[in-house]
Amino acid sequence: MSVPNHKRRTIVTAGATAVGINLLGSRAALAQNYPNRPITFICPWPAGGTSDATMRVLALVASRELGQTVVVENRAGAAGMIGAKALASAKPDGYTIGQLALSVTRFSQLGTVQIDPLKDFTFLGMASAQTFGVVVQPNSPFKNLQELVAYARANPDKLTYSTSGVAGQTHIGMEEFAQAAGIKLRHVPYKGGAPALQGLLGGQVDMMADSSSWASLVESGKLRLLVTWGAERLTRFKDVPTLKELGYGVINDAPNGVAAPAGLTPEIAKKLARAVEIAVKSDEFKLACDKIDAPVIYMNPEQYRQYFADTYKKETVLIEKLQLKKLLEN
């Protein structure tokens, strides 16, 4: 005897409801027991670098809050995009988190990485910014940025600068500065900050734009710092002006935060976000950031995601303005 259609629908609906309840129950149980094994933290930069140092401290403090070891795994390369891709493609179970480079908002639009920055991640909180600056050799004829700008205006395309790569944060910052100053500079991209520094020390370029890898060399007199790119002067280099105060209207500090793959359950995301907040606000993390002149900037998950969305829109305009797609093709 066949069962009437309406009864079949009732049976199916009841079964689906039971499955849904079981799934919700299992998710709640997983969240309650989370974490019960070590967590992997993907750092998209090389081991021993400035970002790596601060992220290891963040991971250590977060591990105490979570009651599990947080193991830092370096997935460096492609201006942070190798790590970003590994993070986006990881299983969304709370056992893989990582530092997210803000430049994914640019590289995703340039087509160099297949990621949707607003759909492929669960944002857990912003942590800190980077400190960028322009340095020259101590025997450089330029004692300050004003002298460099005056020379560049009189000699377009003659001065060269090194960075860690095309379309990276330092390349973008230098091109924004050049446009604001009404000058033309020649970009010499290297495959990383360390080679870019060697290019300057070896006399292959006139100046270098990089994060605070230059700090110890500036302190020892082996390099001269002309300008920094943050909102305020650095405490360690208080005599060096910012691009903003010199009237160029450029602030570039590329804040980074912590994220997980999209699809993370809200309960687990909440636990991780709380651990990130405690770690970022800890004295240990602040001390680690102070060592590399990196300002601590905390944003909660909602604020962090909105910041990413706003930056994505700005990058759309910047890509067109600087014709970055053409530069990548050359």
CATH number for the domain including 87? 3.40.190.150
Is residue 18 in a domain?
no
**In a shared domain, residues 191 and 126:** no
* Contact of 240 with 146, CB cutoff 8 Å: no
**In a shared domain, residues 217 and 261:** no
Model confidence pLDDT, tens digit, residues 150-205: 999 999 999 999 998 888 899 999 999 999 999 999 999 988 788 899 999 999 99
- pLDDT score of 117: 95
Model confidence pLDDT, tens digit, residues 16-58: 555 555 555 556 666 779 999 999 999 998 888 778 899 999 9
Is residue 246 in a domain?
no
**In a shared domain, residues 164 and 301:** no
Is residue 169 in a domain?
yes
CATH number at residue 203: 3.40.190.10
Quote the CA–CA distance of 109 and 120 in Å, as a whole number.
14
**In a shared domain, residues 126 and 258:** yes
Quote the CA–CA distance of 10 and 229 in Å, as a whole number.
65
Using DSSP, state whether 257 is helix, strand or coil.
strand
Please give the residue range of the domain that contains residue 50: 36-130+254-329
Which residue type is seen at 172? I
- In the chain, how many domains are there? 2
Quote the CA–CA distance of 178 and 185 in Å, as a whole number.
7
**In a shared domain, residues 297 and 150:** no
- pLDDT score of 28: 62
- pLDDT score of 330: 67
Is residue 27 in a domain?
no
**In a shared domain, residues 170 and 194:** yes
Joined together, the tokens standing for residue 12 give 């199916």
Across 204-232, b (16+ Cβ under 10 Å) vs e yields: ebbbbbbbbbbbebbeeeebbbbbbbbee
**In a shared domain, residues 125 and 258:** yes
- pLDDT score of 2: 44
Over range 119-133, report the average pLDDT: 96
Is residue 238 in a domain?
no
Over range 85-101, report the average pLDDT: 97
Nearest Cα residue to 219 out of 270, 162, 293: 293
